[in-house]
Amino acid sequence: MKKKRKAHNSISAVLELPDEIVFDMPFISLRGRKEAVIENYKSVLEYSSEKIRIDTSAGRLAVSGAELTIKCIDIQSVVISGRISCIEFL
Contact positions vs other proteins (CB under 8 A):
43-49, 68-75
Of residues 12 and 81, the one with the C-beta less far from other proteins: 81
Burial 47-69 (b: 16+ CB within 10 A, else e): eeeeebbbebeeeebbbbbeebe
Of residues 13 and 86, the one with the C-beta less far from other proteins: 86
Q: Write down the least CB distance from residue 77 to other proteins, Å.
A: 10
Q: Write down the least CB distance from residue 8 to other proteins, Å.
A: 25
Of residues 10 and 29, the one with the C-beta less far from other proteins: 29
Do residues 68 and 62 touch, judged by C-beta distance below 8 A?
A: no
Q: Write down the least CB distance from residue 50 to other proteins, Å.
A: 9
Give kind and range of the element (H or E) at residue 82. Answer: strand 77-89
Do residues 39 and 16 touch, judged by C-beta distance below 8 A?
A: no
